[in-house]
Amino acid sequence: MFNKINQRLKGTPPSKIVKFILIFSVTGSSCLFISDKIALYLERFAGVEQHIVIDVILVTITYQVLLLFFCFLFGEFKYVLGKYKRLKMLFSKDN
């Protein structure tokens, strides 16, 4: 399985692959923890009822912010920022 992943990533060093696996796992775990705390705060102090739509929006926004934060901590900020810019160009393309 690791060889398939390595072929798909065009010879990316295993240390970088492990680094990204670590970044995404830490980001996902902390995202759920933090978005749950934000939802609890909104429910208690702002009077917003917890709803699935609010949870999805909170998780989406929190994940993106935390992904950038953890990529910065692990030294992969430029790489991920380049991917965000590429994605932005893809969606802003005139058809």
**Does pTM surpass 0.85?**
no
- pLDDT above 80 (res 80): yes
pLDDT for position 18: 87
**What are the pLDDT digits (tens) for 9-60?**
777 787 888 898 999 999 999 999 999 898 888 888 777 776 788 888 889 9
Query: What is the dihedral sign for C-alpha 18, 36, 38, 48?
Result: positive
pLDDT for position 94: 57
Q: How far apart are CA 73 and CA 91, in angstroms?
A: 28
CB 17 within 8 A of CB 6: yes
pLDDT for position 28: 94
What is residue 74's DSSP assignment? Answer: T
- pLDDT above 70 (res 95): no
